[in-house]
Structure 1
Amino acid sequence: MKNNYKRGMVVIMFLLAMAVLTILAIGELQAATPYHSVLYQQNVNGKVTGLDGNPLLGVTVRVAGKNYGTTTNLDGDYAIIANSGDMLVFSFVGYKPQEILIDEQSEVNVSLEEDVDALKEVTINAGYYNTTRRESTGNISRVTASEIENQPVVSPLQALQGRMAGVEITSGGFTPGTATRIRIRGVNSLREEGNYPLYIIDGVPVNSIPVETTSVLPSPGIDPLSNLDINNIESIEILKDADATAIYGSRGANGVVLITTKKGVTTGTGLQARFYYGAAVVPTKLDLLNSSEYLRVRRRAFANDSIEPTMQNAPELTVWNQEKYTDWQDFLYGGTAETTNASLNFSGGDQQTFFRLGGSFFTQGTIYPADYDYKKITGNLNLNHRSKNEKFQVNLAVNYGVDLNEFAGSLGFDVSTILLPPNAPNVFNDVGGLNWEEWEVGGFTNPVAGYFNTANKHTQNLVSNIGLSYRILPGLQLKTSLGYTNYTSEELRKQPSRSYNPTQSISNKSNHLRSERASWIIEPQLNYEMTLGKLNLESLFGTTLQENTALQERFLADGYASEALIGNIGAAESIRNPARSNTQYRYAAIFSRVGINWDRTYYLNLTGRRDGSSRFGPNNRFANFGAIGTAWIFSEEEFMETTFPFISFGKLRASYGTTGNDQIGDYGYLDTYEATRGPGGLYPTSLANPDFSWEINKKFEVGVELGFLKDQHRLSLSYYRNRSSNQLVGYPLPATTGFTLVQANLPATVENYGWELVLNTEIFNKEQFNWNASLNLSLPKNRLVSYPNIDQSTYANTYRVGEPLNISLVYDYTGRDPNTGLYTVRDVNEDGRYDYQDRIIAKDLNRELFGGISNTINHKNFSLQFLWQFVKQEGIIPNITAGGRYNTMSYLLSSLDEQSIFQPPSTLFPAREAEGYALQSTFPYQIASFWRLKNLSLAYKIPEDLINSIGMQNGRVFLHGQNLLTITPFKGLDAENPYSLAIGNLKSVTAGIEVNF
């Protein structure tokens, strides 16, 4: 009943928009269109907008060859006198100029295309309002469609790696659909779930927490953005500082990710088709020992230990084929994942109504030795309409995606698999089943246990929004945004008994998991703009009403009589571990913004918001947040032109403000209980605390932006400092209380600070050849500023005051023992044992710096783009001891030499114990910095004469490469994940074509 109600809301919203559009269209068709014409001289008027339909203020309109002209007003309107045959020239800083020939028409409406290479007036999305790079008082990073489309990735966040200062993105793994981790200016909260940013798609907030899955994915879960079509994204903005994020209040504590989808064209119709095909492989492998080397090291270990190899302790030396060699890395992930993408979009309209309707299909295979395919189908609709008098506007955006992921998670990507003895037996027997008998020798387990398991993860994601606006008076506008989202995930994992060792008597099973997330949001808003001489005022006032609901159901069905019946719940012998949770989150707020500037030179931006959250007790549900941002465009001062003529643009800006954080579980202020395994019982899990309140994040930033030589070279330098206090955590309680934890505020303060630099330059700008380059560099720092009595808390062995949150407390490595040759670490308190009292060194696991260098080169019909991503950091080497029953890195061959830095091969416990202490010391750390050719794209624009001959408007073919080359001294699998044996990205090459009709 509830689901039907929610879906009904979407239908009602859609029908409402259709009805409004129909009424307006009928009314306008019945109205007469005025037409005035003068043969030689006439009054010409019209409106100038951007491609998004928004009016442009200050556009210069002049008659070519004459010394007079005019500019557009707040609504983009203009009026000018011109003769029949004159050429009107429309020009605006930040947009490409346009020329229109006058032929006795009295109305000329124009849509200007944004010039992304211009600094001053490029429109950027600031959330509830638009601004420009020139006039922005906040720090907003932006990428456009040309930089991210055609990348063969599932999540749009993966396309941002290396492109934005202050934005650290780490892939969750190469399995399609896995959640990508994004951190905007560091970690603010002690809780993992307290560090997710806010996702906004076309004005609608989307839950950013990964969706839970029962499959073994190398990430926290399923990416909630995986259903989006990357080719349909117009731009992605990241809001970082207080001035940019405070208008979102508590939701913007960790930054805001604004995703804007593409809109239709305002003149004519067009059909765009895009297709690409490619393949992806693992970019690198560990340099492991081959069979002869491994057996040689194993024999030395037994010799050093004076132990005779037997079938039980060394089957690889006594039973298994000594000449056999299996590259387990190649077996596990040595396949080629084919990728295909096809999209079709139709757009068109006129100055009043324009639309874009499209869909896409994406599929990616697997590198595993199994049929694990990923498929995604998306559809999108964007409809915009405005009345003839320009007072009323309606915008509809709908994005819908469905995907199917068949990854079963049966092949574990871990050390136990890729480091198996290289002469181990085959995993399959002669009849295609799993080989158990040979693997049982010596206590090994077949590494592909679970091979015949299958999974079906099916997700659906709807993001819809209707925006209505009406201009009551000149400069006064009433707006309302109505949004609805629905995300469902249904997962069925089948586990037939033949996937497991028959001696374990495992029956046929199925795991069932269903999740649903739904939300609606209503945001009425009043905007007012005023110009009084040199004083310009922009203000808005709005409210937010939002509700999120989440439902999760899971259970295990066991005892199916046959494999064919798995999944049919009625055929199961028993249903075990059933669980169901249903939560509701309500959020309300009022917000306002006042932007003031004097003569487009001095800027002041004031933002305030009062938030209310149902996640807090009645006494602390509301809190106030706000920010102030200022900017001075000093290049407008008279002294600049004479004193510093080479500086074409200069701006100083600063901001300070507070945002909150309520990213905790629902109902934390109440006593909570869970059902016992037996019937009719409850046991306590969380103690009530009605007094805990919001985390507070205070943000400060100062920056300078410079343009040199008519903005051919542009520089932006920012310093920021964010402090998050009143930390919200689940505080563990002693067992004597009867509860496991209580939600509380801890007296801890976390600080993130650092520098960000962005440099853009035009290296060449000629008629048939131009070359633009950009650099972004981030120098982040993180530390725990204070935590009173941390030594008496449960975090005593996790954090250190003055050190970053992401640290590893390690021993001080003191070299090899001269008598035994084993690793040693320092016993600080000399008590004869090693514990956290001896872990005196805090190793910072964060990146010291990161960034990217991108280049775009255009020559005639050719275009070349490439991006280098770079990171400076440390990591740990994969192995430090040879001689055990698992394979090791080739550099450990040096352990056969007595002068080696590595301890000699051994199979005995003292060597394993010494290795364990050494792994938790400073010994295994090494430089893991890297340079990666993240993207390389070559495109060729098909000549116009050929295009026109076959009835097309334009077309291009392209070749795209991703993660093609990584330069690093790191010995692990992937320098992006320097503390684990995991791969974040695949190396891929795709080729495609794009045509427009």
Structure 2
Amino acid sequence: MKNNYKCCNIAVLIPLLSLFFQLGIVPAYPENPLTQQIISGTISDQEGLPLPGVNVIVKGTSTGTMTNLDGKYSIRASIGDTLLFSYVGYQSLQKVITPSFKGDLQMQPANDALSEVVINAGYYNTTERERTGNIARVSGDDLKRQTVISPIEALQGRMAGVEITQRGGAPGGAPIIRIRGQNSLRDTQDDNGNLPLYIIDGVPINSSPVFSYSSSISTNGIDPLNTIGLSNIESIEILKDADATAIYGSRGANGVVLITTKKGYIGKTRLNTRFYTGIGTASGKMDLLNTTEYLDIRRSAFLNDNVEPTNSNAYDLLIWDKNRDIDWQEDFFGGQAEIQSAQVTLSGGQKNTSFRLGSNFYREGTIYPGDLSYWKLSNSLQVNHNSNNNKFNINLSINYGVDTNNLLHSLGQSLASAAINLPPNAPAIYNDNGSLNWEDWSIANRDNPLAGLNNSSTITSRNLISNLSLSYKLFDGLEVKTSAGYTNYNSDELLKMPLRAYNPDSWESLAARSINSIIDRNSWIIEPQLTYHKTIKKHEVNILIGTTFQQNKDSRISLSGYGYSAESQIGNLMNAEDVTVNNDRTAEYRYSAAFARMGYNWDKKLFLNLTGRRDGSSRFGKNNRFANFGAIGAAWIFSEEKFLDNLNFLSFGKLRASYGTTGNDQIGDYGYLDAYEATQAPGGLLPSQLTNPNYSWEENKKTEAAINVGFIKNKLNFELSWYKNSSSNQLVGFPLPSTTGFNSILSNLPATVENYGWELVADTKNISTDTFKWQTSFNISIPKNKLVAFPDIEQTSYANIYRIGHPLNISLLYRYIGINSETGLYEVEDINEDGSFDYADRLSIRDNSRAFYGGLGNTLIYKNVTMQFLWEFVKQNGRKALFQTGNIGNIINQIDEVTKNDNLQKPSQLSAAGRANTLAANSDFSTTDTSFLRLKTISIVYNLPQTLTQKLRIDRGSLFLNGQNLVTFTSYKGLDPQVSGTYIPVLRTFTAGIEFNF
């Protein structure tokens, strides 16, 4: 498609610049710059020890650097410039450069901890003290202490308003992330309108999970962030409210995830090494019946049904070994996954140039049977250079990762179901010679549950994310920038399904086959920008103007091969008797925008932030291709007012509020066009999609109000936020009558979804002495989600999914009456008394969303030992584990509750019992509390004393122990309360390692 809307960006920029010149905000002629010189020195703490990683920035510019491992820095600046020094946990410093300034400074511990640390807000930086928007931040140190594959998984329990669910313990699967709830009715893997925007070093990447045919992870797909090494990440910021996200326009409707990788320091070349190893095991199991209990239930079923046991209907009673007692959970996912990781980083620089080169290897085995594993190699390169006059800056960032996932095809999630449902006296999986046992399983007309081990699945992904940023300071306060990025994600998947994965009795009717799949995602982006900063007495203004040109191209092709004559040939399509195309699609997406921001503050007390963006997207017809979005944010630091001087207990106080609009274009490409596909007969075309050129953008209106307070010299810090997001003009498939020949047509429905709630973040410094420090962090979110309006919902298929006035994540259930006194079976209410049960009878509603969630973390430091741990807590309802197995009395194992609960229906194999069990499983009787409290992470670090590091001739050294998902407290009786279903539980991991700096 022709990109006929880029010209709008230049048309918007020219009058804006002209206006700024006329108003005198931007001077028409450059000022003569003052003579610059190299300012260098050492930054140390209150004890005189050097502080590495201190941010040093020339105020009002983008010029900055960081101290090296010796605390040394070097930066080019002029006499009269102001240097800003910031470091986590220390008071920020401002130092005006005078002829007598030597460059050495000593930083004191901050009473307000993180309040002065620089925060990445996307196109600009701000501080915790001055931000007008809601931005949550997690440092790289918190990330690297966790044994997870994706950076998103490492955020669980650490951020208010950020809900992350890891569905299953299969490595590489994409977690579900929701920032302040579900905004869109489109919430499937292939059409998800709730995904946030991912930005890595200024480059946006496709956040949608990568499709996979491997059944163990196909529920959610593969996480596109897997190849990024956690140890290479400097910080992750999440933008939540309108003030923070509106500058990204339609792309920020569901929040923005900013990932910043680490950079090098000016100083001597340093080598950092980090190694660890450990094991992972399943974090949960179900309490199931043993053989004696199971057989008693089975005998009761025959007695209740008045049916005689035979070899065909009771092979578990009459043929299988009644003395055999197996916990299949131990056999199917009770193994230990070996974990290894190695990291090497080289960094340094001289004068104006710094660099960092890092490489990280990670491998994780499997808890399943078989020799399978996941591994990845993550590489990063950062180079930064300033010209001698400090006007020109160039920064290059490259992240490249490769991973290989050998997952179990045809097993995966089904392993959990098989482990729960198999009778405890089921026959052996293997024969004495190690081959699969088919004979004993054929008696039961069953497949061997581990037959899928003979299948193989290999997924190899390569991910390149690169960015080149150029900036030039035209004159004091005015700077021109350009950021250019390129990404490429490529995934190859090969499934091999030989005949030996099936019962030999069926080989004559089957053929060996394979599936070959290739996914390729390419994108480029160019963002020219102009920034201006000016301070006049108590007035300070920051202006940003820019434009965006972006293009994405995605392709996917998958082919199936059948009839291989030899197992060694499987996967080579040239040797297949027949090849069919499963999927072949290519889509191109073009996006452009013009954006502007003005930040103003008066006397560092009153702050105003205005942002605006005009977006153009190729996913809409020409009549609705463009849309305007914007926001306003304001903050008042009331603790600076003189009338509060007598409140000695109040250290800091800020009120802030924001309002704005964002859009959403997360729909399929070319949806507004007619589409056709080839018929099976050659030469024909079949319509596959109806045209609708008139649908337009979803709109998300966001409102927020918050208060930040600090007490007792900021030893107690709290932030309370209230928010309300209203998403309307929903883009969904509008159902069509079957007479049209189509199921639906993409259209805007007059539905409105609201997300609102409260978030509380607290940080306390409980004890702080020379030898012992104890700090606590806490966050809790109380979200609410509601379908506010949906006119004529009764006329659509959505009437069987949603209810006005209720959340989107609900289950429509029957009303459970109890156990019928005559039949002894479950009974639900027939509301309309028509003798059948359908959605008209489902009047009971279960809210499956979280009532509240959060985390409680503690950091304790005693001399050279640091211990950190985080508890994650969630309040929610879900489905009883009782109904994850089948009907009581069938040839299927049960949760041990069936022997302890008298309120369950009698054991029976009759069809009436099966129907009753199904109705009860879809009634409010199936609802249970699935809340949990989990020790999410624990880390213990011992820093080697200086006397020892000197003997070892290293700069620093440490030993560490890390744990993940160690203990879970819950009343839920299933595998994992995080997701009430038959998913392999998340892994409980223990790792130990060493880290050295040379």
Give the match's secondary structure for 1:443.
Answer: coil
Shifted more, 713-722 versus 421-430: the winner is: 421-430
What is aligned with 1:212?
211
Q: Is the 8 A contact 1:50 1:113 kept in 2?
A: no
TM-superposed CA distance for 1:208, in Å, is 0.3
Pairs within 5 Å for 1:697-712: 697-712=700-715
**Please, which of 683, 690, 695 is the counterpart of residue 680 of structure 1?**
683
Q: Is the 8 A contact 1:233 1:260 kept in 2?
A: yes
What is aligned with 1:550?
554
* Partner AA of 2:893 in structure 1: N
Q: Give the structure-1-normalised TM-score.
A: 0.90
TM-superposed CA distance for 1:533, in Å, is 1.2
TM-superposed CA distance for 1:710, in Å, is 1.3
Q: Is the 8 A contact 1:332 1:418 kept in 2?
A: no
In 2: Cα distance, 1:367 partner to 1:981 partner:
16
Q: Is the 8 A contact 2:36 2:77 kept in 1?
A: no
What is aligned with 2:602?
598
* Partner AA of 2:892 in structure 1: Y
Pairs within 5 Å for 1:408-487: 408-411=408-411, 412-487=414-489
**Please, which of 154, 158, 162 is the counterpart of residue 163 of structure 1?**
158
Q: Deviations over 1:517-536 (max 9, x none)?
A: 00000000000011111111
TM-superposed CA distance for 1:872, in Å, is 0.6
1:892 and 2:876 are equivalent in the alignment: no
Give the match's secondary structure for 2:739.
Answer: helix
In structure 2, do the counterparts of structure 1 residues 536 and 545 end up closer, same or farther at CA, with 3 Å as the change threshold? same
TM-superposed CA distance for 1:116, in Å, is 11
In structure 2, do the counterparts of structure 1 residues 114 and 454 end up closer, same or farther at CA, with 3 Å as the change threshold? farther
Q: Is the 8 A contact 2:36 2:79 kept in 1?
A: no
What is aligned with 1:940?
942
1:751 and 2:754 are equivalent in the alignment: yes
**Please, which of 803, 807, 810 is the counterpart of residue 810 of structure 2?**
807
1:328 and 2:323 are equivalent in the alignment: no
Pairs within 5 Å for 1:487-886: 487-505=489-507, 506-642=510-646, 644-879=647-882, 881-886=887-892
**Please, which of 139, 143, 148 is the counterpart of residue 153 of structure 1?**
148
What is aligned with 1:981?
982
TM-superposed CA distance for 1:57, in Å, is 6.4
TM-superposed CA distance for 1:567, in Å, is 1.8
1:365 and 2:365 are equivalent in the alignment: yes
Segments of 5+ residues of structure 2 without an aligned counterpart are 1-34, 41-50, 63-72
TM-superposed CA distance for 1:56, in Å, is 4.3
In 2: Cα distance, 1:807 partner to 1:243 partner:
31
TM-superposed CA distance for 1:910, in Å, is 1.1
What is aligned with 1:10?
none
In 2: Cα distance, 1:938 partner to 1:106 partner:
41
* Partner AA of 1:480 in structure 2: T
Give the match's secondary structure for 2:491.
Answer: strand
In 2: Cα distance, 1:33 partner to 1:529 partner:
19
What is aligned with 1:62?
none
Give the match's secondary structure for 2:983.
Answer: coil
In structure 2, do the counterparts of structure 1 residues 444 and 971 end up closer, same or farther at CA, with 3 Å as the change threshold? same
Pairs within 5 Å for 1:106-505: 108=103, 118-192=113-187, 193-218=192-217, 219-411=219-411, 412-505=414-507
Identity, in percent, stands at 52
Q: Deviations over 1:186-210 (max 9, x none)?
A: 0000001100000000000010000
**Please, which of 938, 949, 952 is the counterpart of residue 951 of structure 2?**
949
In structure 2, do the counterparts of structure 1 residues 58 and 398 end up closer, same or farther at CA, with 3 Å as the change threshold? closer
* Partner AA of 2:895 in structure 1: M
Q: Is the 8 A contact 2:264 2:354 kept in 1?
A: yes
In structure 2, do the counterparts of structure 1 residues 446 and 117 end up closer, same or farther at CA, with 3 Å as the change threshold? farther
Give the match's secondary structure for 1:973.
Answer: coil
In structure 2, do the counterparts of structure 1 residues 404 and 726 end up closer, same or farther at CA, with 3 Å as the change threshold? same
Q: Is the 8 A contact 2:736 2:742 kept in 1?
A: yes
In 2: Cα distance, 1:409 partner to 1:878 partner:
25
In 1: Cα distance, 2:85 partner to 2:477 partner:
23
In 1: Cα distance, 2:941 partner to 2:138 partner:
19
Give the match's secondary structure for 1:311.
Answer: coil
Shifted more, 685-694 versus 923-932: the winner is: 923-932
In structure 2, do the counterparts of structure 1 residues 906 and 34 end up closer, same or farther at CA, with 3 Å as the change threshold? closer
Q: Deviations over 1:870-913 (max 9, x none)?
A: 01111222225521110001110136xxxx11111111111111
Segments of 5+ residues of structure 1 without an aligned counterpart are 1-31, 38-47, 60-71, 82-87
In 2: Cα distance, 1:973 partner to 1:584 partner:
42
Give the match's secondary structure for 2:677.
Answer: strand
Give the match's secondary structure for 1:461.
Answer: strand
What is aligned with 2:12?
none
TM-superposed CA distance for 1:268, in Å, is 2.1
In 2: Cα distance, 1:157 partner to 1:250 partner:
22
In 1: Cα distance, 2:976 partner to 2:650 partner:
43
Give the match's secondary structure for 2:798.
Answer: coil
In 1: Cα distance, 2:531 partner to 2:109 partner:
24
In structure 2, do the counterparts of structure 1 residues 466 and 645 end up closer, same or farther at CA, with 3 Å as the change threshold? same
Q: Deviations over 1:631-690 (max 9, x none)?
A: 000001001111x22111000000000000000000000011222333333322210000
What is aligned with 2:8?
none
Q: Deviations over 1:369-425 (max 9, x none)?
A: 012111101110011111122111111110000001111323223424431111111
In structure 2, do the counterparts of structure 1 residues 565 and 695 end up closer, same or farther at CA, with 3 Å as the change threshold? same
Q: Deviations over 1:69-121 (max 9, x none)?
A: xxx9x99655699xxxxxx9988997467999x9x998748898997962432
In 2: Cα distance, 1:887 partner to 1:321 partner:
15
Q: Is the 8 A contact 2:651 2:713 kept in 1?
A: yes
Q: Give the structure-2-normalised TM-score.
A: 0.90
Q: Is the 8 A contact 2:36 2:76 kept in 1?
A: no
In structure 2, do the counterparts of structure 1 residues 721 and 904 end up closer, same or farther at CA, with 3 Å as the change threshold? same
In structure 2, do the counterparts of structure 1 residues 94 and 773 end up closer, same or farther at CA, with 3 Å as the change threshold? closer
Q: Is the 8 A contact 2:145 2:939 kept in 1?
A: no
In 2: Cα distance, 1:740 partner to 1:147 partner:
48
Q: Is the 8 A contact 1:361 1:376 kept in 2?
A: yes
* Partner AA of 1:433 in structure 2: S
* Partner AA of 1:429 in structure 2: N
In 2: Cα distance, 1:239 partner to 1:681 partner:
49
What is aligned with 2:43?
none
In 2: Cα distance, 1:80 partner to 1:260 partner:
27
In 1: Cα distance, 2:986 partner to 2:706 partner:
34
Give the match's secondary structure for 1:818.
Answer: coil
Q: Deviations over 1:53-78 (max 9, x none)?
A: 6434699xxxxxxxxxxxx9x99655
Give the match's secondary structure for 1:619.
Answer: helix
Q: Deviations over 1:570-617 (max 9, x none)?
A: 111111234311110000000000011110111111000000000000
What is aligned with 1:66?
none
In 2: Cα distance, 1:567 partner to 1:993 partner:
42
* Partner AA of 2:613 in structure 1: R
* Partner AA of 1:841 in structure 2: S
In structure 2, do the counterparts of structure 1 residues 468 and 57 end up closer, same or farther at CA, with 3 Å as the change threshold? closer
In structure 2, do the counterparts of structure 1 residues 116 and 934 end up closer, same or farther at CA, with 3 Å as the change threshold? farther
In 2: Cα distance, 1:97 partner to 1:791 partner:
59
* Partner AA of 2:194 in structure 1: N
Report the number of matched residues.
Answer: 929
Give the match's secondary structure for 1:195.
Answer: coil
In structure 2, do the counterparts of structure 1 residues 138 and 90 end up closer, same or farther at CA, with 3 Å as the change threshold? closer
